[in-house]
A = this chain, B = another copy of it.
């Protein structure tokens, strides 16, 4: 089953054709560099042997890898699938390979993943977090490659940040809810990462400015629809007056909507519910979910554009790039 003889090298291909490996190497990098006859002979030999390119010598000789590393906290979180789509729409066109890794919201795992990506000599890195371990920062420094941090623009960037203002976004949405007359709005949060906390800050700011008491119901568990339902139950048990829910993401919000439907709580008459990011589910459901619409794919695109620009030698024109957000009120407020 498994082929014991080692994989063919350029020399093997060259031997078949009867030239030196240099000629084959040239063909692989740009076929027009060898004569037309030679092109045919080499193509045949490559096909025959099933030659697989070998990146190792490139890496040894400090060549550009034409690969960039992407780090996201989670693949389950739909947000990052869309960010990745944005990134790859640009890298693909520019001829860059992407190396994708995820770290489950853990700084130590992030550090390990970054070490792994750097050991393969990626030309640049796109991170999703604005907070990193000391060793991570040190490695990024010695790697000497361009790095972009996505998602949030409220913290200081290592080199460059692309995203939106999580605090302002939450503040805006909660303010809108208050203006619509809701008084007892509770914040639901899961998996306490940096952005969950930033959103909480925006929420509390809006509540305090209107002399309302902020109440947060949080858990360390990873976010899910089911969890949204559970957190709503918990909230209603502890805070009977609750007439509004602002969630750290759409999953929790939708789970809360479902729970209201089960309990016969009218939305938005008896309960307002708002989510974050504006995913397809929420926008297609009944009632249409209120949500902060964030430019996820654009964040990916702009990040990739900036990184590739810098790889081509352009200077950093804008250290912090804020792509904004929109408030979608839907039918759940």
Contacts and interface: CB of A to CB of B under 8 A. Distances in A.
Nearest to A60: B56
Interface string A82-118: 1011000000000001011110000000000001101
A62 B58 CA distance: 15
Contact of A144 (B3, B47, B118): B3
A211 interface: no
A262 interface: yes
A281 interface: yes
A267 B224 CA distance: 24
Contacts of A101: 100
Interface stretch (A172-180, A239-247, A283-291): A283-291
A29 interface: no
Contacts of A53: 115, 118-119
Interface in A7-30: 7-8
A5 B144 contact: yes
Interface string A223-238: 0111011000000000
A119 B54 contact: yes
Interface of A: 1-8, 47, 49-60, 62, 75-76, 78, 81-82, 84-85, 97, 99-102, 115-116, 118-121, 135, 138-139, 141-146, 159, 224-226, 228-229, 254-255, 258, 261-262, 280-281, 283-286, 310, 316
Given A2-B146, A59-B55, A76 B76 contact: no
A255 B7 CA distance: 49
A329 to B, nearest CB: 18
A105 to B, nearest CB: 14
B60 A138 contact: no
